[in-house]
């Protein structure tokens, strides 16, 4: 009996996790990290938690003697809790981060859905949904599926048509035609890229896995001078110190492969681990009427201020260039 109940927990908890992951990605794509994204995610999260609790407990009620292992309210609560635990494991495996479990309001949403499921089963009735609501739900679901297909298709086309890698002896040239940059790195290094963040790529040393380099771009207005770029970096540093526990060590203008750039050095402490970042902000001062004006190359090292393979890292940085 307990195995059947646990199966329901994991089935509906897993479905709830998938629903939350998909909606989270969609809202991030639409609204970035704004308050609208947060509010939208919370609303959908509560709704999905309530549905998972309602449907899951309806399945559990069919198991004879289920009440020995808890009330309908607690079973609904547990379904959402299982989703939270699965989400934390997922985040740790893929993002190397530990997230706090879902908020109490999500858990209560699932619990209330479970409680209502028992009440309706006891009354031998179901939730009645009007035809207009069903039509609206169908439209929303259809748009939801189309949007997911659009994201998947966009990622596939980007990977196969805009990314090019060319082997050059012991090195590989990475070319991103869509976002207009390229660089060269040793083929023994590991390259990773997230399909939902096109234009971002990370490479990690095979000899020094505590050293990584990353390439990405920033949303910004047109940058005309290095002074404007420095002000842009200072704003980023201020945000990091106020919201991400970053500690700025220096911000300075420098030259990288003949380009005027701004170097921001910062550090983050997590328990006994220190991560040191060197972020090179590079602006395309001559660009006009385009979406990207600022690129960033970063170096991240754990518990040390400089990478072991400093010469290799310098060569990679110097290989960066804009492409038409």
CB count, 10 Å around CB of 289? 5
pLDDT of residue 115: 64
pLDDT of residue 110: 56
> pLDDT per residue over 264-312, tens digit each?
998 887 777 788 889 999 988 776 666 778 888 999 888 888 888 889 9
pLDDT of residue 184: 93
| Residues with Cβ within 8 Å of residue 226, at least 6 apart in sequence | 253, 260, 261, 262, 283
pTM: 0.58
Of 81-85, 98-102, 188-192, 222-226, the range with the lowest mean pLDDT is: 98-102
How many Cα atoms sit within 13 Å of 66 on the Cβ side? 23
Percent of the chain with pLDDT over 70: 74
- In terms of C-beta distances under 8 Å and separation of at least 24 residues, what long-range contacts does 231-235 make, across chains too? 232/262, 232/281, 232/294, 233/262, 233/264, 233/279, 233/281
More confident residue, 67 or 213: 213
Q: What is the mean pLDDT of the chain?
A: 77
Sorted by where each starts, the structural domains of the chain and their CATH numbers stand as: 2-128 (no CATH), 163-322 (3.40.1000.10)
> pLDDT per residue over 312-323, tens digit each?
999 999 999 888
What are the strands of the beta sheet with 201-204, ordered from one edge? 190-192, 201-204, 211-218, 294-302, 273-283, 259-270, 247-256
Has residue 153 got a pLDDT over 90? no
Cα 141 from Cα 262, distance rounded (Å): 46
Has residue 101 got a pLDDT over 50? no
Cα 56 from Cα 121, distance rounded (Å): 13
pLDDT band at 116 (very low <50, low <70, confident <90, very high): low
pLDDT of residue 220: 77
CA dihedral 140, 146, 152, 156 (to 10 degrees): -160
pLDDT of residue 77: 76
pLDDT of residue 91: 63
Has residue 241 got a pLDDT over 50? yes
| Exposure string for 136-167, b = 16+ CB within 10 A, e = fewer | eeeeeeeeeeeeeeebeeeeeebeeeebeeee
pLDDT of residue 102: 46
> pLDDT per residue over 171-209, tens digit each?
999 998 888 889 999 989 998 877 667 788 899 988 888
DSSP state of 168: E
> pLDDT per residue over 9-55, tens digit each?
788 777 877 877 777 777 666 655 556 666 666 777 777 777 877 78
């Amino acid at each position: 009996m307990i195995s059947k109940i646990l199966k329901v927990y994991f089935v509906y908890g897993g479905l709830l996790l998938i629903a939350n992951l998909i909606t989270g990605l969609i809202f991030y794509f639409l609204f970035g990290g704004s308050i609208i994204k947060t509010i939208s995610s919370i609303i959908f999260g509560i709704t999905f938690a309530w549905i998972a609790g309602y449907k899951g407990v309806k399945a559990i009620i069919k198991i004879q003697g289920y009440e020995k292992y808890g009330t309908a309210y607690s079973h609904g609560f547990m379904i959402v809790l299982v989703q939270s635990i699965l989400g934390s494991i997922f985040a740790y495996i893929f993002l190397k981060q530990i997230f706090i479990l879902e908020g109490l309001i999500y858990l209560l949403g699932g619990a209330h859905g479970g409680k209502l499921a028992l009440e309706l089963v006891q009354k031998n009735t179901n939730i009645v949904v009007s035809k207009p609501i069903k039509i609206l739900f169908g439209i929303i679901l259809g748009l939801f599926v189309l949007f997911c297909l659009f994201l998947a298709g966009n990622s596939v086309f980007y990977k196969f048509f805009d990314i090019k890698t060319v082997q050059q002896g012991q090195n590989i040239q990475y070319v991103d035609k869509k976002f207009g940059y390229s660089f060269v790195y040793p083929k023994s290094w590991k390259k990773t890229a997230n399909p939902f963040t096109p234009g971002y790529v990370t490479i990690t040393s095979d000899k020094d896995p505590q050293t990584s380099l990353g390439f990405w771009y920033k949303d910004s207005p047109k940058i005309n001078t290095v002074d404007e770029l420095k002000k842009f970096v200072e704003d980023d540093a201020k945000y990091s110190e106020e919201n991400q526990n970053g500690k700025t060590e220096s911000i300075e203008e420098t030259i990288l492969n003949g380009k005027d750039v701004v170097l921001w050095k910062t550090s983050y402490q997590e328990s006994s681990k220190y991560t040191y970042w060197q972020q090179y902000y590079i602006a395309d001062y001559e660009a006009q009427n385009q979406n990207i004006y600022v690129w960033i190359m970063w170096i991240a090292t754990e518990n040390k201020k400089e990478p072991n393979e400093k010469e290799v890292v310098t060569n990679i940085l110097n290989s960066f260039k804009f492409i038409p």
